[in-house]
Amino acid sequence: MNAVFVLILGFIVAFIGYRVYAKYVDTKIMKADPKKATPAKMYMDGVDFMPTSKNILFGYQFKSIAGAAPVIGPIIAIQWGWLPAMLWILAGTFFIGWVQDYSSAMIAMRKDGASLGGLSHKLISPKARIILLSFLYFYLLLIAGAFGNVVVSTAIGLKAAPMAWLFMTIGGILAGQMIYRWKRDIVLTTVVTVVIALFGIWLGTIAPSNKIIGDALANSRWVWAIAAFVFCYFAAVLPIWRFALPINYVASYIVFLGLLFGIIGVFVLHPNFTLPAYTGFSIRIGPIWPIMFVTIACGAISGWHSLVSTSGTARQLEYETDARPVGGGVMFVEMMLAVFALVIAGTIYASSAEYGAAIAKGPGGVFAAGVSKFLGALGLPADTGRSYGSVMMIVLAVTIMQLVIRFMRIATSELLSDVSPVFRNVHIGTIIASILGMILVLTGWWQYLWVLFGGANQLMASLALMLVTAYLMSEGRPAAYAFYPMIFMFVTTVAALLYTSYNLLAKVFTGAVKGEALVGNTLMGFVGFFLVIAAIILAVEGVRAFNRYRAVQAQPAPAKA
């Protein structure tokens, strides 16, 4: 099948989903009202609550949700064949993905801009909030581990990447200095720092890491894991304007330009899929159900989005009717990003064996090869294109990682400061989070780590859908559009986590793994089981809340005087 046909199919699904299904839910079920005052207007404090244009929020939401996951998921999932992967991306987004993003923003708006923790407290129970927050810590640990692994494998597999990453960091730090300290013009700052980042991408091709630090260090997982977590350490402890934000700022231009020209390149080359449409029900990491459904997380449905929708976007929406383009519309754009990643993986290799050899080294190499090919169609040399793709992959992963480590530092302080005041120290919290992340990166097999991350991510999404269902039931509105996706996601993700955790721990208890793998399997296995137990407790609390709301709705209305 031709890749352009797949892209057009994606556009059609997005159009129908947004214009028909999302519009129906928005007008008939949620009954969005542009005249209703939103929390951004009611509680405007000039900081968190601030009415903001929907176009700005569209960009903000896209930047916040589109990390490495929608790209990596399809690249791994194509091992089952491109057809099931494509069907899940399209159907997952159409029936579940946008529903979660949009509805979580809507209910946060209707509940005075409450965060996910606050919503679970109000709609489910006080216990639900505590469990949700501890669930979050381990979920974020899996993100740090999975994305850290991507950074390490990309830095080892593509020797141009470290130099490009270094120059991106230098450009970012300079951008922070120019904007906030030297008060330079934003256009000048942008041009200078983006050119520095682009120079680093080119320099990487003539000064690869193995020529500078030698083969042994350039191929060491320890070196790049330490580099990644030192990067995150600075992002977590330095003022956010000095390091994390300006690097994200410069990186956003690099990623945005790469995606834009990459998609144009697909239309120019319009290649055919060369990998098989379907390879079989079961592969090394597991069966198609439930494992493929959690492997493609962000491109179909992701719990991360509900965190952004509730704590960030819902507090800035100026009108209730803006939730559909911002919450729902952006999810359809991310679906297109996942389809683009699928096209990359499915069209650039001549055979399954060639793809298998490439994916064994990590998804970064596959992505970079695709970016190189499609940017090459517009005249960019192959080496520079590969360097560009590799830094895109690193940037997409590391920008989420640094946010996660920063958050884990705050979580450590909140959860453990009563045990000992030492946990309030920013360095201690960051070091704990970094060490845990590094253990996962250095000891866990990346595909299992990815499946666990995807499972936790989508379990988070099913919990967000549980909150949406509880809200709809409490209001006496039809809840089926959120209830059935919630059931499907809950069963699928619990099955995936149990399957993977059981496999990991079975290897530990039968003595099949030793050394590093023993540590990695044990840690990943227990984290997976913990997440399942936390989710089951939350589900029990959720069912109790549903029964409560049903009982209230079943009561006869009080007689009018």
Partner 1 sequence: MAKEEKKKGGFFKAVQEFVYGVAAHDSARFALKTRASMEHLFILITMGDMLGVPILPPYYSLRLLPYVVPQISTWKRRMLREKDLTDALA
Q: Kindly state the tokens that stand for 553.
A: 């709705």
Distance CA 32, CA 446 (A): 43
Chain-centre distance for alpha carbon 540: 27
- Binding of partner 1 by 419 (CB under 8 A): no
Cβ nearer to partner 1, comparing 395 with 479: 395
Distance CA 461, CA 463 (A): 5
- Binding of partner 1 by 64 (CB under 8 A): yes
Cβ nearer to partner 1, comparing 279 with 417: 417
- Binding of partner 1 by 396 (CB under 8 A): no
With CB under 8 A as the contact rule, the residue among 93, 209, 310, 443 that binds partner 1 is 310
| Least distance CB 56 / partner 1 (angstroms) | 4
Within 204-263, the residues that bind partner 1 by CB under 8 A are 239-241, 245-246, 248-249, 252-253, 256
* Size of interface with partner 1, in residues (CB under 8 A): 54
Cβ nearer to partner 1, comparing 63 with 159: 63
- Binding of partner 1 by 115 (CB under 8 A): yes
Cβ nearer to partner 1, comparing 76 with 436: 436
Main-chain phi, psi angles of 52, to 5 degrees: -130, 145
Cβ nearer to partner 1, comparing 169 with 295: 169
Annotate 415-481 with three-state secondary structure: HHCCCCHHHHCHHHHHHHHHHHHHHHHHHCCHHHHHHHHHHHHHHHHHHHHHHHHHHHHHCCCCCHH
Cβ nearer to partner 1, comparing 429 with 525: 429
Site string for partner 1, 72-111 (x = CB under 8 A): ----------------------------------------
Tell me if 542 sits within 8 A of 129, measured CB to CB.
Answer: no
In this structure, the chain runs to a length of: 561
Binding window for partner 1 (CB under 8 A); candidates: 7-15, 115-123, 445-453, 493-501: 115-123
- Binding of partner 1 by 62 (CB under 8 A): yes
With CB under 8 A as the contact rule, the residue among 141, 336, 380, 411 that binds partner 1 is 411
Counts for the chain of helices (H) and strands (E), in that order:
26, 2
Residue in 154, 149, 295 with CA at minimum distance from that of residue 225 = 149
| Least distance CB 124 / partner 1 (angstroms) | 14
Tell me if 490 sits within 8 A of 467, measured CB to CB.
Answer: no
| Least distance CB 47 / partner 1 (angstroms) | 5
- Binding of partner 1 by 282 (CB under 8 A): no
Residue in 162, 166, 167, 142 with CA at minimum distance from that of residue 152 = 162
With CB under 8 A as the contact rule, the residue among 90, 109, 114, 433 that binds partner 1 is 114
Q: Kindly state the tokens that stand for 328.
A: 């729902």
| Least distance CB 163 / partner 1 (angstroms) | 24
Within 164-203, the residues that bind partner 1 by CB under 8 A are 179-180, 186, 190
Distance CA 341, CA 295 (A): 13
Tell me if 343 sits within 8 A of 354, measured CB to CB.
Answer: no
Cβ nearer to partner 1, comparing 407 with 471: 407
Main-chain phi, psi angles of 2, to 5 degrees: -80, 140
- Binding of partner 1 by 126 (CB under 8 A): no
Binding window for partner 1 (CB under 8 A); candidates: 163-171, 211-219, 308-316, 514-522: 308-316
- Binding of partner 1 by 355 (CB under 8 A): no
Tell me if 535 sits within 8 A of 460, measured CB to CB.
Answer: no
Torsion angle of alpha carbons 402, 404, 407, 411, nearest 10°?
-140
- Binding of partner 1 by 410 (CB under 8 A): yes
Annotate 493-530 with three-state secondary structure: HHHHHHHHHHHHHHHHHCCCCCCHHHHHHHHHHHHHHH
With CB under 8 A as the contact rule, the residue among 2, 27, 53, 420 that binds partner 1 is 53
- Binding of partner 1 by 311 (CB under 8 A): yes
Which amino acid makes up residue 138?
F
Residues interacting with partner 1, by CB under 8 A? 43-50, 52-53, 55-64, 114-118, 129, 133, 136, 179-180, 186, 190, 239-241, 245-246, 248-249, 252-253, 256, 307-308, 310-313, 403, 406-407, 410-411, 414
